[in-house]
Amino acid sequence: MAGDRALHDVDWSTLPVPEDDGAARHLPGRALPDLELAATSGAAINLARLAGRTVVFAYPMTGTPGRALPDGWDAIPGARGCTPHACAFRDLHQDLSRAGAAFVFGFSTHTESEQREAAGRLHLPFALLSDASLSLTRALDLPAMEVGGKTMIKRLALIVRDGAIEHVFYPVFPPDRNAGDVLAWLKAHPA
């Protein structure tokens, strides 16, 4: 449990704050591509075909207890905090649903098996989506970074309505507050 606690207990004041580099400005109003992503529920999810509002929060990677984070991880603005990010959406999941989110998904370039491990360990009431092939990341030209030879999505959250991006939260910092920000936006913009 000590390793798991280290993934949750983060002093945000010691980490570099990500700046808005403009890499998500093109996303509002954009239609999602017609493609399927593997979900931890075992289903294939096509975000473009979901009716109503869908919340999709993207993160670079979830830490695994007992496995070291990539070298220099804490020095990358916005990289640290994936576990608190996902757990905040877990904790506010019912409130997000009541505020109009028909679906909530977490999203990263992790493999399906890595996503399943994280979803089970964190007891998430929603599915995590895998874009290990980078199909959605490339189709939407999502903000990304290279770490240790792997492409990772920069942290952001999307409000999708009937297959089109309605609102974008980017950059996201601190990550554990993003779910609350999304909830406040949904309440202020009822469908």
Rounded Cα distance, 72 and 63, in Å: 14
DSSP state of 176: G
For the segment 89-131, what is each residue's pLDDT rounded down to a tens digit?
A: 999 999 999 999 999 999 999 999 999 999 999 999 999 999 9
User: pTM value?
Assistant: 0.93
Per-residue burial over 1-20, b = 16 or more CB atoms within 10 Å of its CB, e = otherwise? eeeeeebeebeeeebeebee
Strand order in the sheet with 53-58: 44-45, 37-39, 127-130, 101-108, 53-58, 156-161, 164-169
Residue reference for tokens 């294939």: 44
For the segment 3-54, what is each residue's pLDDT rounded down to a tens digit?
A: 444 556 789 999 999 999 999 999 999 999 999 999 999 999 999 999 999 9
121, 79 in Cβ contact below 8 A? no
Rounded Cα distance, 154 and 172, in Å: 9
22, 11 in Cβ contact below 8 A? no
Q: What angle do CA 153, 159, 173 make, to 5 degrees?
A: 50
